Amino acid sequence: MTKPQISEHFKTREPSSIRLAQIEFMKRKDKVEAVNTAIGNVTLPMHPAMIKRMHNLCSCKDSHFRSGVVGYTASAGTDEIICAFKNIIASSGFRSDNLLVMATDGGSQAMEIAVVGVCGNAGTDEKPLLLIDAAYTNYIAFADRLGRKTVSVKRKLQDTGKFTLPDFSEIEKVIQHQKPGALVVIPYDNPTGHFCDMKTMIELAKLCVKYNMWMISDEAYRELLYLDESKSSIWALSDSVVLGIEGRRISIESASKVWNACGLRIGALITDNTEFYDKALAEYTANLCANAIGQYIFGALAHESHEDLCKWYQQQRDYYKPLILEVRNALLNLLPGIVVSSPDAALYSVVDVRNIAKAGFNSTDFALYCARKGRVEIKDKCYTLLLAPMSGFYAVTKGEFNPGVTQLRIAYVPRPEKIMLIPYLFEKLFNEYEKQRN
């Protein structure tokens, strides 16, 4: 008897680059411990106000959940969580009273709704999504899931560790040829750790206005900046800065990174365009609402002062910056010739072995080797390193060279004592992998 067939889309699905190593490692039966840097699963505690809410879910007299009932909220989210997101944006020094907020199940859901709203279907009213490669892989995955096309301009990783954009004239040529519906920019960038400063944001905004595109800014890592520069945000843009930018601004927000609440699955889609907001909300009614308990916990930030929130941002920066610098310097010392991206923002490094690997190196194959076979003994304990191959972060066409084949992303999310093992593990596993390739 024949069985029903899965869809053509499902037949082509492979695990995301950020989950692939973990999936493979979980199949192992030995006692090797993984230092998981493949996914940005932060292991730091949440903001104290959020922790207090979590502890008092049922005991606090003001809790919505004392009765044990967990009902739906409004599709846009509770008034409190809407205020929380506005308070956070305002604490960074940007106007937020004129913004429209829709709480979502993580920033990922906000990304998906945004792509639906700004890009046309492939082959009909096609308006592709313009990405800046290397781009966060989920934008590529969501566009594919939704039948939307992506196009890209590519940054280059220099031997110095700096990512450079192509000339704006080259970006403009891509826009003229591909006619995208929206541009995605990640100011504090995942996966590269690159910082998109306000000068660059302004030039990109001018292109969005000139070619009547939406501008989507993924601000999950806003405030995680390690350079002595002014903060960058789509909400720092206005008509007084770039005439016409207002009404085409969208941001993706998340509780996962700055607030250390990955598993809470709370995010937001924020815009200053009423029509876009109304239609996004209509689309999201099919999801009913975001996680009600997560909304309540994150909603605590609505009541925190800007002074307190700024202290929190500084605390996060003070934690990440020295760790990233130490790991980068150790990698450069252990493997002369390796390229490690400059630690400018967010909580990632891109490691490129193009100058030290033998011909035929493949980052996905190396990540799978580490997950399936990697074994490094340190003080009578065995470890391996889980990494995200960067080939999945580039939207390349068939036959086009993918710079990610020699690149891997490291997320600085394990506990500090594990983070300090990263350089040693990488060096040992890389050399073992290259040796077995002989």
Which tokens belong to 182?
């929206």
At 107 the pLDDT is 93
Element at 81 (helix H, strand E): helix 79-91
pLDDT tens per residue across span 290-301 = 999 999 999 999
At 128 the pLDDT is 92
Phi/psi of residue 433, nearest 5 degrees: -60, -45
At 123 the pLDDT is 64
Distance CA 438, CA 424 (A): 22
86, 251 Cβ separation under 8 angstroms: no
Cα dihedral 97, 102, 106, 111 in deg (nearest 10): -100
Long-range contacts at 147-152 (CB < 8 A, ≥ 24 apart): 147/121, 147/122, 148/115, 148/116, 148/119, 148/120, 148/121, 148/122, 149/119, 149/122, 150/395, 151/178, 151/180, 151/395, 152/394, 152/395
CA 190 to chain centre: 5
> What pTM was computed for the model?
0.93
E strands present in 149-213: 150-154, 156-157, 163-164, 182-185
Which tokens belong to 397?
């066409």
115, 250 Cβ separation under 8 angstroms: no
34, 384 Cβ separation under 8 angstroms: yes
Low-confidence residues of the chain: pLDDT under 50: none
Half-sphere exposure of 11 (CA within 13 A, CB side): 5
**Amino acid identity for residue 98 in this structure:** N
Which tokens belong to 399?
């036959």
At 163 the pLDDT is 94
Q: Which of 37, 38, 55 is nearest to 46 (CA)?
A: 55
Positive or negative: CA dihedral 291, 292, 298, 303? positive
Q: Which domains does the chain have, with CATH numbers?
A: 14-40+309-436 (3.90.1150.10), 49-304 (3.40.640.10)
88, 80 Cβ separation under 8 angstroms: no
Distance CA 115, CA 107 (A): 12
pLDDT tens per residue across span 357-371 = 999 999 999 999 999
Q: Which of 375, 387, 389, 377 is nearest to 429 (CA)?
A: 375
DSSP states along 112-132: HHHHHHH-PPTTSS--PEEEE
233, 215 Cβ separation under 8 angstroms: no
